[in-house]
Amino acid sequence: MEILSLLGSGMLLAMQPLNLLLIFVGVTVGLFIGAMPGLGSVNGVAILLPITFLVPPSGAIIFLAAIYYGAMYGGAISSITLGIPGASTAVATTFDGRPLARQGRASLALVTAALASFVGGSVANVMFTLFAPVLASVALSFGPPEIFALMLLAFATFVGLGGDDIPKTIFSICLGLVLGAVGFDQISGAPRLVMFDINGFIQGIGFLVLAIGVYGIGEMLWTIEESRGEVESSNPKMTMRGMASDAAEATREGWKGATIGSFLGFFVGILPAAGATPASLMSYGVAKMTSRNPKEFGRGKIDGITAPESANNSASTGSMLPMLTLGIPGSPTTAILLGGMVMWGLTPGPRLFLDEPDFVWGLIGSFYISNLAAVLINLAFIPVFIWMLRMPFSILAPMIFVLSIVGGYAAMNDMFDIWLILIFGIGAFVLRRFDYPLAPAVLAIVLGPIAEPTLRQSLLLSSGDMSIFFTRPIAGPITVVALILIFLPALKLLRRGGAKRGDKAA
């Protein structure tokens, strides 16, 4: 009861006119920043941080949290309408969101993504309110072996994502991981994999460079070539009744994915090193694995949108938990929020709930209001996003190319990266022609910089003994499940081969 009364007073604080205005402005700004390829919540929060000195600390953090919420909703928009994931958290949304949009059902995809994000955010808010201190201590029990086991589990779900050609999928995963290792060795600081001695590689290869190359350039070249340059621009209809029926279909077909994404996403989100990207990917993988029709995934399945979208929103709220209760940021955006809190004279950590209850509960209350505001504003703007899809393809295609190059430069500020985007784009086009799946590479480049240090720290702890991943109570079961998932497709193929030989012999 005490929690409810604290939450009630927090919500009242969040609903004060100034804070309510900040929430609506923050969510709208965040929605458009998130929808822009190359810009994500981290840009919005970082750029608008100085503005927050004009309002009291509670209003400031509410404003930044609203931007964060808006951007998490917005990430799905470019994934669905343009096929370019604006942020790593929205990569998995392209798998089914884009095919649905190309079938002329972009409205359904956008409504589904908005509602799934709302469900994910709501579940996470309730979990946050009820279990914050307990979950923070669970997250702390995750050391390097546990985090690496979790990464292994994420890679295992990639194998399922890549289709039947397992060697090509494994190649793609390893390519993404190796590209993620370019630059500096994180532990010794020595330059590593500086290819052809080109200095540009010293700063590493960012996720966005590969993602924009693969999805913004490679995918577009492939679409233009396959369609002979005559892509029919989809002409999605948009009416209030249509949106209501889309919402009903999204609920009917996507509840399972949303349930998986909301709970799994929150749990992965609270782990300090993980975050919304592995959360959305793992939720997609689990939704596909537990589906009765896994082959429908990748062709516009509703569960394929609800799982990652609910997960990335749930994980974003979850990643606030270690920041507030322990002072450990779970993502780059929460790291900036943490910096902001320190600047406003607040000390994140276990005592924050006791010392600054108004601030903490005002923030938690604002999560609920921001989530509601985000879904309403997102739904209201869907006709604008749909309008983009009505453009003739011969206008949309060069716009996507321009957005890819400009977005890539805005994020990296380096022309070398723009040339890399082009090279990756043309390379992706060629590899796609030869059936190499590229989504695993894009996701692996995000997770590689988390997986490598945790593997090395784990092996240092065990003096090189790999059994550390099997003997610890949390890491052990996760590792075993991951290995089963990795070897399951291979076993299936062997069984299928055996059955064929048996048929021939008969």
Partner 1 sequence: MRYGEIATAGVLALFSVYLMWKSAELPIGYISEKGPGGGAWPFWLSAIMLLSCVCVAFNWWRGTSPLSQSDAPFLDGHGWRMLGLVGGGLIGFVGLIAVISMYGAIAVFLLYYLRFLGRHSWALSLGVSLATPILFFFFFEGAMQITMPTGLPFTDPVFDFLYEIIY
Binding site for partner 1 (CB under 8 A): 39, 43, 47, 165-168, 170-171, 174-175, 177-178, 181, 185, 187-188, 190, 192-195, 217, 221, 224-225, 228-229, 392, 394-395, 397-399, 401-402, 405-406, 409-410, 413, 415, 418-419, 422, 425-426, 429-431, 433-435, 452, 455-457, 459-460, 464
Asked whether the CA dihedral 427, 428, 430, 434 is positive or negative, the reply is positive
Helix (H, G, I), strand (E, B) or coil at 191: strand
Q: To the nearest whole angstrom, how small is the minimum distance from the Cβ of residue 202 to partner 1?
A: 13
Which residue's CB is nearer to partner 1, number 55 or number 224? 224
Q: For residue 21, count other CB atoms closer than 10 A to its CB.
A: 13
Which residue's CB is nearer to partner 1, number 355 or number 465? 465
- The Cα–Cα gap between 237 and 30 comes to 26
Helix (H, G, I), strand (E, B) or coil at 506: coil
Which residue's CB is nearer to partner 1, number 202 or number 430? 430
Tokens of 204: 């590493």
**Tokens 């307990």 found at:** 134
Q: How many CA atoms lie within 13 A of 366 on its CB side?
A: 33
Q: To the nearest whole angstrom, how small is the minimum distance from the Cβ of residue 413 to partner 1?
A: 8
Q: How many CA atoms lie within 13 A of 100 on its CB side?
A: 31
Which residue's CB is nearer to partner 1, number 20 or number 166? 166
Q: To the nearest whole angstrom, how small is the minimum distance from the Cβ of residue 377 to partner 1?
A: 18
Which residue's CB is nearer to partner 1, number 387 or number 419? 419
Q: To the nearest whole angstrom, how small is the minimum distance from the Cβ of residue 221 to partner 1?
A: 6
Q: To the nearest whole angstrom, how small is the minimum distance from the Cβ of residue 244 to partner 1?
A: 34
Which residue's CB is nearer to partner 1, number 120 or number 440? 440
Across-strand partners of 191? 184
Helix (H, G, I), strand (E, B) or coil at 253: helix
Residue by residue, DSSP assigns 427-444 as HHHHHHHTT---HHHHHH
Cβ–Cβ < 8 Å for 63, 48: yes
**Tokens 């062997």 found at:** 494
Helix (H, G, I), strand (E, B) or coil at 162: coil
Q: To the nearest whole angstrom, how small is the minimum distance from the Cβ of residue 63 to partner 1?
A: 16
Which residue's CB is nearer to partner 1, number 342 or number 460? 460
Tokens of 417: 């990266």
Cβ–Cβ < 8 Å for 418, 402: no
Strands 191-192, 183-184: pairing is antiparallel
Amino acid at 167: P
Q: For residue 326, count other CB atoms closer than 10 A to its CB.
A: 20
Q: To the nearest whole angstrom, how small is the minimum distance from the Cβ of residue 240 to partner 1?
A: 30
Which residue's CB is nearer to partner 1, number 477 or number 497? 497
Contacts of 272 (CB under 8 A, 6+ apart): 139, 142, 322, 326, 328, 329, 330
Which residue's CB is nearer to partner 1, number 47 or number 384? 47
Q: To the nearest whole angstrom, how small is the minimum distance from the Cβ of residue 460 to partner 1?
A: 4
Q: To the nearest whole angstrom, how small is the minimum distance from the Cβ of residue 23 to partner 1?
A: 20
Q: To the nearest whole angstrom, how small is the minimum distance from the Cβ of residue 456 to partner 1?
A: 5
Which residue's CB is nearer to partner 1, number 190 or number 354? 190
Q: How many CA atoms lie within 13 A of 465 on its CB side?
A: 8
